Amino acid sequence: MNYSTKQIALLSDEIDLQSIKYPSAQLAVRALLKEICLSPKPGLVDMLNNGAHRDMDFSTFIASIKAISPWFDEFYHYGYTLKLNNQSDFLVGIRPIGLACEKAMYLATHNVNTHKGGIFAFGLLLGVIGYLEQCQQTTNVTTICSTLMGFCHGIVKKELQLSNSNQTVGEKLFKHYQLSGARGEAESGYATVRQISLPIYNKMQQAGYDEETSLLQVMLHLLAYNQDTNLVSRGGLAGLHFVQNSAKQLIERGGATDLIGRSHLEKLDKQLIKHNLSPGGSADLIAITWFLAQYQN
């Protein structure tokens, strides 16, 4: 079962998307819905199965989206009302909102982490968009991502390189492999999206493919080229390289455009489940790709 416009509409009604005030916040929620409904996603929760997860399923993600979506207005409003003395103030002020949003997620999911990465990413993006609109500046991929780079400048050095706690997964992976994960993506202004997945999405759309096929092709390119710290956390560099090489092989066959592309994805899904591999970082970037695609003007 693959997602359709009708299914997304039903879920939007269930979540009460219209109660969200700001258009950009609505787009962020839609992005999360499109990501969780996209199927098949190797190793990830989707409408077909739980992927390589035993503590969450599709309904867990919908409950999570429902719980965190009201906070997306708060991220935007924070940016829209922000008075900056220096760029580092942005991260300091937005962090408490992010923590409150995470708390809502954990309450809804019985302490399961479904969207911590999504909250981090969309919190930053919505805050930036709010700030740009407060300043009456154009909001497009270039302005959003360049402003985010400025606001997040030094976050990898401060929170990963110079950290001595070695407590979080992100800190451990940076110490062992120099992988900067979600913080690195934010500090780069989502370079992986801008350079890899967004061009693929645009190419697919221009070629006349539907949104679902376009996003499946985006997913394959992210699996092939993203330095996904979730995969490294579960399977080491060997797990990351296995997924990257498998995705590249499928792309060479045509990926989602192949006549039996979805069956290849389902086979890869079984392999990732067997090896307990879940590319959660790439899942976040799928949603971000669709979201930023709405700001190409």
Choose among 297, 217, 292, 286: nearest CA to 257: 217
- Ordered mean pLDDT values, 10 residues apiece, the chain (297 residues): 79 94 98 97 96 96 98 98 89 97 98 97 98 97 98 89 71 81 95 98 97 97 96 95 98 95 96 97 98 94
Dist. CA 101–CA 116, nearest whole Å: 9
Q: Are 262 and 268 in contact (CB under 8 A)?
A: no
pTM flag (> 0.85): yes
Q: Give the phi and the psi of residue 136 in degrees, each rounded to 5.
A: 60, 40
Count of alpha carbons within 13 Å of 13, Cβ hemisphere only?
5
CA 276 to chain centre: 20
Distances (CA, A) of 141 to 128, 174, 211, 231, 291: 11, 28, 19, 28, 10
The pLDDT of residue 158: 84
State the virtual CA torsion across 68, 71, 73, 76 in degrees, nearest 10: -110
Sequence-ordered strand ranges (E) for the chain = none
Dist. CA 134–CA 15, nearest whole Å: 28
Tokens 């539907």, residue? 210
| DSSP states along 58-91 | HHHHHHHHHHHHHHHHHHHHHHHT---SSTTHHH
Q: Are 288 and 190 in contact (CB under 8 A)?
A: yes
Dist. CA 104–CA 20, nearest whole Å: 16
The pLDDT of residue 172: 81
Domain positions in the chain: 3-158+172-294
Q: Are 41 and 92 in contact (CB under 8 A)?
A: no
